[in-house]
């Protein structure tokens, strides 16, 4: 059963449509520890070492994502092993990311995704993410290719894994739209104080 997952490539594509139109030009700007660019008006900052997204801001809109290097994400995989079933492979655990800006896109590549725990793994998983400006002049398209060179299956793919999103339009005005549904995550996913779990000794 596991062999079906060996040396496979997983492709995932996401389209982000932004409400304000802008030029499709890519504007590179290099800062210490980060690689910055602008795609269709969306300012993107990537950590140079991990390839994680540390900052997102759109023209005329406040910052809507801000994350530290340790939290910055983009890709997160469930990769259970016998020694530790909750093991994850993710951007935030990785080093040596390659970030290239060319034309209307940014390509981030990891030869070997880093793991959440220091176990010996039966092979490696590499990945490439492309962020490119869409031809409508206001959207960006994210595409991920994952190559599993290990003898174990990848059980889950989280893409894009964007840690650090903030309610830039308030809890009611910040909306996530996807196929067939609308979610206000900073309101709908808010946990009530009455739902807190307490463990006590009997």
**How far, in Å, CA of 147 to CA of 123, rounded?**
11
Strand ranges, E, within the chain: 8-17, 29-31, 34-39, 42-47, 53-58, 63-66, 76-78, 88-90, 98-102, 105-110, 114-115, 125-133, 139-148, 156-158, 176-178, 181-183
User: From the centroid of its chain, how far is CA 39?
Assistant: 16
The single residue listed with the structure tokens 């994350």 is 67
Mean pLDDT of the chain: 85
The number of CA neighbours under 13 Å toward the Cβ of 165 is 14
pLDDT digits (tens, 9 = 90+) for 132-165: 999 999 999 999 999 999 999 999 999 999 999 9
Name the residue with higher pLDDT: 113 or 31.
113
Residue 23's pLDDT band (cuts 50, 70, 90): very low
What local confidence, expressed as pLDDT, does residue 140 receive? 95
Q: Which of 48, 90, 98 is nearest to 69 (CA)?
A: 48
Residue 27's pLDDT band (cuts 50, 70, 90): very low
Region 78-104 average pLDDT: 96
pTM for the complete prediction? 0.79
Residue 59's pLDDT band (cuts 50, 70, 90): confident
The single residue listed with the structure tokens 């070492």 is 49
Residue 14's pLDDT band (cuts 50, 70, 90): low
């Amino acid at each position: 059963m596991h062999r079906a997952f060996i040396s496979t490539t997983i492709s995932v594509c996401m389209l982000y449509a932004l409400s304000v139109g802008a030029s499709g030009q890519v504007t590179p700007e290099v800062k210490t520890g980060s690689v910055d660019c602008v795609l269709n008006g969306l300012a993107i900052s990537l950590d140079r070492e991990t390839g994680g997204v540390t900052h997102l801001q759109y023209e005329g809109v406040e910052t809507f994502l801000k994350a530290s290097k340790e939290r910055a994400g983009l890709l997160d995989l469930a990769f259970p092993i016998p020694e530790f079933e909750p093991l994850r492979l993710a951007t935030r655990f990785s080093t040596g990311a390659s970030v290239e800006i060319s034309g209307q896109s940014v390509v981030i590549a990891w030869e070997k995704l880093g793991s959440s725990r220091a176990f010996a793994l039966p092979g490696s998983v590499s990945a490439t993410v492309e962020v490119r400006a869409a031809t409508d002049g206001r959207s960006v398209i994210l595409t991920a290719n994952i190559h599993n060179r290990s003898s174990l299956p990848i059980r889950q793919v989280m893409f894009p894994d964007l840690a650090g999103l903030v309610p830039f339009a308030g809890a009611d005005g910040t909306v996530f739209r996807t196929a067939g549904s609308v979610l206000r995550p900073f309101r709908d996913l808010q946990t009530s104080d009455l739902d807190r779990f307490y463990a006590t000794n009997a």
